[in-house]
Structure 1
Amino acid sequence: MASQDVDDSNFALHGHGVPLLVGLLALVVAFVAVCLYLRWACTRRRRRAADLEASSSAAAASRAIPGLDADAIKGLPVTLYSPTRSAGVKAGGGEEEQVVEAECSICISALVAGDKVKVLPPCGHCFHPNCVDAWLLAQPSCPLCRTTLLPVTAGGKPDVVNGGDSPV
């Protein structure tokens, strides 16, 4: 066997070889670009799924605190509503007494003097008994300011005993 010398003329491209090589290179670049895009899209989808799962588990944890039991709700004080009066300034410079009107923020109707209202002890907000009773069966907090009606433990978290059967 005779050895042949390798020179540059053996690697020269002539005729249709150049466009074929350019097309093949473009195909490889496009394939790599599609692979990188699919990798990015899959990673993004997994991250979104993980974020959604984390947020849904956090929402489930926040729903884990049940409302108050019926005995605790019945134990809240029911009184007759009397409008509060506040001092206002008259146009002439003197003071006049003004009646501050309140409303039940659950049914959005005005509280009239003599209506039965249930006053929540921690915050003093008042509501119609039927309105707030339905709320408190599902949520252990004031519907207006979200102050909890459950006793607070030393750790600063509401004390849930027997599924929320703790007295108020």
Structure 2
Amino acid sequence: MSERVYNVLFLCTGNSARSILAESILSREGQGRFRAFSAGSQPKGEVHPFAISLLKKMNHPVEELRSKNWDEFAADGAPVMDFVFTVCDNAANEVCPVWPGQPMSAHWGLPDPAAVEGSEAERHLAFADTYRMLANRISIFASLPMKSLDRLSLQQRLSEIGRNFTQTA
């Protein structure tokens, strides 16, 4: 008997960097167990070039990535989400979208690497740091024993991932 595949949506305001990175990481990390998607409440319309560059460097496919509005996932016929994670950063006073419905959700806020100013190397480093933090969280999430956790325990674990694994190496 095959294991259930869970749909996961990563939300951010612009859907050009953090949520795109998360979608790519989970697509690889959770292959066969999770289907990853990303969207934004106010999508930029294009994926940030530094995100594309980093994902290529990390051997992620980038051809299908695009910045899209979260309305696509609320429309009839859209995949039903099991999990929704917001990855926008409250500290930057961004408006984090709230996803309606019944999916498990958690806030995994991260600073926006696209907002970093400085040299090109400093900006690339911000994207690499964001990738690392997301990879840590997603690795923990993907290893959770979904079948053996009740809904409340699972919700607690999802929230802990956002709180406790912000700056881990």
Q: TM-score scaled to structure 2, two decimals?
A: 0.19
Q: TM-score, normalised by structure 1?
A: 0.19
